[in-house]
Structure 1
Amino acid sequence: MGALKLEDLPHYIYDDYKQWEGRWELIDGIAYAMAPSPIYEHQNISGDIHIELKKLLRECQNCQVALALDWKIAEDTVVCPDNSVICSKTTTDFIEVAPEIIFEVLSPSTKNVDRNRKYNLFQENGVKYYIIVEPKGKFAEVYKLEKGFYRLQGEFTNEKYLFELDECSIEFDFNTIF
């Protein structure tokens, strides 16, 4: 018996995704199971990111932070970033446009998808900043979209980084999450 090929996998769409129980993401029609429930460390860091972003965006009228909200990229692609910054009005139960910033907190079960599939997906769909947070190493990698490709801005532990959004700029203090 041969190895399972990509073309042999079922191709799912958003209507299928809405019916599933548990935590899933859908990328190019392929279902990815997420960890049943993130561990305490993951949730604690994600919560701290959310609080810091909420505080920083208070004065930014058109930008808002979303905590674990689905982003429907296409009929066959739906992801749920840990934290997103959206600088347009959301009129549905999910994100419809590319977020300006996405934070993903790595966990052992999703690390490869976050570093590869999502990295490429976010780059292709115009997410200006992608931040990969490594809880075990206590650092965050900040990637900025430049001429269609992500460029590593650096690894941050207790430094600040200035995110330049269309409507405003925010200086995120990575010391607040580690």
Structure 2
Amino acid sequence: MRISLKSIRQLSAEQISTRVLYVLLAVIVLLFGAFFLIGYDIPYDEDPTFNAPMFTDAVLVFIYMLVLATVGITAYAVYRSIKGRDKTSDTINNIPAAKIVWLTTGLTAASLLLTFLLGSSEPVMVNGVKYADVFWLKATDMFINTALILLFVAVCGVVFGLSGYNRKVNLNK
């Protein structure tokens, strides 16, 4: 089976995303399987009470690649959305798309700012050493708490969508 750009262009978005999902799942299962099953109990040179798994670097590089790919795809999607946006209509298929975009962007930005400002700067113990870098402690709290807030809002949106109540309310006002 030969993969070419022409054959990929003939696939639907669902088929492409399904194949990408399967490839990512296979790589993740293989990588984490190797991480935990091959050389996991190797003692750390500087402190033998800690483990230094053999595939730690491979897992970290894979995570960095995923983050970079995600940021790149997100930037490209935003660029395409702004460039190809129909300026005449903010409603697509009777859905207030512009409102949703602005509310999502605003909620994310407000959550990031608020959770950073309210984040804890209390030092924590990491591998027996007190870690007290205020910026990174607050940044960690920011990302964790923003993710929780956005997950909660997403669950509320799904429940609202499944309730049928949204059909009774005119959201295009």
Q: Which TM-score applies when normalising by structure 2?
A: 0.28
Which structure has the larger Rg over C-alpha atoms? 2
Q: Which has the higher helix share?
A: 2
Structure 1-normalised TM-score?
0.27
* Structure with greater contact order relative to length (CA < 8 Å, sep ≥ 6): 1
